[in-house]
Chains A and B, each alone.
Chain A
Amino acid sequence: MTDDHQMESNIPSPEMKPRRGVSPIWILPVVALLIASWLVYKSVVDAGIKVTIRFDNAQGIEKGKTRVICRGMPIGVVESLTISKDFRSINVVVEFVKEARKQLRKNTKFWMVAPTISPKGITGLETILKGNYITMQPGDGPEERNFVALSNPPPIRSDEPGLHIQLISDGLGSLAQGSGVYYKGIKAGEIQQFDLNDQGKVVIDVYIDQKYAHKVKKSSRFFNVSGVSFEGSLSGFKINTEALSALVMGGVAFLTPEEGKGAKDAVDGDSFSLFENRDLAEQEGKRITLLFDDGKGISARTQIRYRGVEIGRVLRIELNKKITGVQVTASIQKRYRSLLREGTQFWLVEPQLGLAGAKNLETIISGTYITLRPGKGKTKRTFRALSAQPTSLEPRNGLKIILVAERLGSIKADDPVYFRQVKVGEVTGCRLSKDATSALISVDIEKPYAPLVRTDSKFWNVSGIKIDVGLFKGAKVRTESMQSILEGGIAFATPGKPSAAKEDDKFSRGVLLDESGSRDNAKGGTSAQAHPPGRPAKNGARFILYDEPKDKWLKWRPKIMLGK
């Protein structure tokens, strides 16, 4: 510029202004700065969280490679590995993605996942290619940056969707962590862990998948299906196994007996008792206690049947505390609980071989069983069992009469009552009269034959063989039927055509023993003389039991229409 001025002094000088503005080139550093600051901002925002996890062993952990994977998603990577000062553990520094910040809490658990081959299957196969990885289970508590890794996978967390329940058992058996829980053969969950409780029982934590959680009801029963169970008897042979993996790993199955609308779903924390096997689980119901004098023939698993159908099982048999009897703990299926009432009688059914034939032969093969006759009182849990079958198995609804005899003879309960050698009824019981002057025999005449018994009927004992030997009349053998010879029995006859009835007053008076009232019997007494036979006997009527019949009784042939 000065040169210009010197050379062209006569030319007006241009206005000299300092260059204004900034060169557009400065946009470049500004842009660079913006990019850089954006990167810085991003790295600060995205900065990972550094966490130290202490492992016993760094096997398979590689700096910069080993990742922390949660639910299949990598959320962190091992940044560095250092051995502790005492060489007892390895401190692994892991950098987590920032999203993990909220999950790194005091109870968060970390453990290594390595490939394992077990009867359950091969797990962690992906680690063969990608290397072992660390996985985690989020936990609660305050935020934490230092953790100690677990050596084994922890049980599934209690807030995992699904059902978390407990099984109480006397022993663990062959169950193990990871053993399956099966429902109808489908694996529905698994055993998480187990521990002893204060009572010395084993408490098994079980996790049921969300998918099958609704199958577990409050009334569900769990039972052990580990291994194979053999159950053999002469009537059959049974092999039970749930699933092949249950065979090897052990397992638990459950069934739900009342799978209706009413059944309440089980909720987290419910406990169930673990039955030894499926049968016991199926039979589980009301626990009852039966008191026997003698435990012979009873064992755990002895069936309890009603009308031939199994309704329960004996669980335990032991002497009572005073060692004066046997205490049997049994379980009756819930749906049959209405049978358990005051007055219900229990007794043991054993095979019986006698002159009259064999009874309950099936028990030789299937074993003895306990049966019962239901009562009508209030519900009850403890029963005194009878030593033998009570006189009548079922309440009879035939005609009930009472025979009065001087001596019982060989009459006993269940002895038949014959009319014209046809069995029309049974002796239901024998007892002494209150004043002990006579024996009272209760007889039940089957309903259709009830009209045969009239107020003037005569009863006599037909037990044994009556042999009448006389010098002139020769020998006379009288018997009712073969069974009556062996077992004893009662026969009766009712007066009527065609023989003309000439009744002895004395016998008519015997009929008057009817408890219901002398007036009725007085009438009956008079009508007994009439040709249409006497009035039908009423329930509770009393008759005399003669030792032997009179000849004319045998000739009576009344015409009576039988009932239905």
Chain B
Amino acid sequence: MAKEQLTAREAGLIQCLDCHLLTAKGHGIMETHCPRCGAKLHFRKSTSLARTWALLISSLILLFPANLLPIMTVTYLGEKQPNTIMDGIEHFIQSGSYFIALLIFFASILVPVFKVMGIILIMISIQKKWKTRLRHKTLMFRFIKFIGRWSMLDIFVIAIMVALVNLGTLTAIVPAPAVTYFATVVVLTILAANTFDTRLIWEDTK
């Protein structure tokens, strides 16, 4: 990456985030809109850092109930057995389904935590103006953005199980409170990744 590169912002240009049209910076204090698609134009996503922080903190808080509360209740022969995410994984390991256990562990526990931690790391590095490994950080962020949606896997597994295993009192699976918290965490982290403006990473890096 060559130094002294001219950024679009320095050149007085704004890219529309929706249709990617490059336009000249507007005049005065008037709001600028994309001449092609009509979207509002910003040099950077407005209040990106604050929004991302808010979403991250929310999801960080909700991670705890999502993991500590039971995510589903298995009724087997009339006996209710609440299961947290970890209980489910443990169950799969015990029954020998290591792959499924690994998958669920990855999607439901590792990824949300990794996402939250990763974005927080990037945000801190921006605010503290740490200028090292910027490229790695960008790669990580892309990965986070890509992997984030897979966390919904657990929710889908439960949704399918609830639909499939429903034999009345004999065997039934009912979602438990943690499902809501877990889904909220996933959605919030996806939103956090979206509100974050990657260009902020490269700000002032001349």
Contacts and interface: CB of A to CB of B under 8 A. Distances in A.
B58 interface: yes
B186 interface: no
Interface in A113-131: 129-130
Nearest to A13: B29
B134 interface: no
Interface in B144-161: none
Interface string A1-33: 001100110010010000000010110110111
A23 B47 contact: yes
B78 A130 contact: yes
Given A3-B25, A8-B27, A29 B58 contact: yes
B28 A31 contact: no
B188 interface: yes
A23 B65 contact: no
Given A130-B77, A130-B78, A32 B58 contact: yes
Contact of A28 (B47, B55, B64, B181): B55
Contacts of B79: 65, 130
Top-6 shortest CB links A-B = A32-B58, A29-B57, A32-B61, A25-B54, A29-B58, A28-B58
B101 interface: no
A307 B124 CA distance: 114
A129 B47 CA distance: 60
A35 interface: yes
Given A3-B12, A130-B77, A130-B78, A28 B54 contact: yes
A39 interface: yes
Q: How large is the interface on B (under 10, 10 to 19, 20 to 34, 35 or more residues)?
A: 20 to 34
A31 B188 CA distance: 13
A72 to B, nearest CB: 13
B51 interface: yes
Contact of B77 (A33, A36, A129): A129
Given A8-B27, A14-B29, A39 B69 contact: yes
A32 B62 contact: yes
A26 B61 contact: no
Nearest to A14: B29
14 contacts: A3-B12, A14-B29, A25-B54, A29-B54, A29-B57, A31-B58, A32-B57, A32-B58, A32-B184, A35-B181, A36-B61, A39-B65, A130-B78, A130-B79
Interface of B: 12, 25, 27-29, 47, 50-51, 54-55, 57-59, 61-62, 64-65, 69, 77-79, 81, 181, 184, 188
A98 to B, nearest CB: 17
Given A23-B54, A25-B51, A36 B78 contact: no
Nearest to A26: B54
A65 B54 CA distance: 41
A4 B43 CA distance: 14
Contacts of A65: 79, 81
B90 to A, nearest CB: 11
A519 B126 CA distance: 154
Nearest to B58: A32
A484 B47 CA distance: 143
Contact of B28 (A4, A33, A36, A39): A4
Interface residues of A, number: 21
Contacts of B62: 32, 35-36
A35 B60 CA distance: 12
Contact of A8 (B28, B50, B188): B28
Contacts of B81: 64-65
Nearest to B69: A39
Contacts of A26: 50, 54
A472 B12 CA distance: 190
Nearest to B12: A3
A29 B61 contact: yes
Nearest to B57: A29
Given A14-B28, A26-B50, A32-B184, 20 more contacts: A3-B25, A8-B27, A23-B47, A23-B50, A23-B51, A25-B51, A26-B54, A28-B55, A29-B54, A29-B57, A31-B58, A32-B57, A35-B61, A35-B181, A36-B61, A36-B62, A36-B65, A39-B65, A65-B79, A129-B78
A309 to B, nearest CB: 63
A64 B80 CA distance: 11
Nearest to A33: B61
Nearest to B54: A25
Nearest to A11: B28
A191 B69 CA distance: 47
B59 A32 contact: yes
A8 B50 CA distance: 31
B33 to A, nearest CB: 18
Contacts of A23: 47, 50-51, 54
B160 to A, nearest CB: 25
B23 to A, nearest CB: 15
Nearest to A130: B79
Contacts of A35: 61-62, 65, 181
A5 to B, nearest CB: 12
A35 B59 CA distance: 12
A19 B53 CA distance: 18
Contact of A36 (B27, B29, B50, B64): B64
Interface in A25-75: 25-26, 28-29, 31-33, 35-36, 39, 64-65
B85 to A, nearest CB: 16
Contacts of B59: 32
A340 to B, nearest CB: 66
A8 B47 CA distance: 26
A262 to B, nearest CB: 53
B188 A28 contact: yes
A126 to B, nearest CB: 10
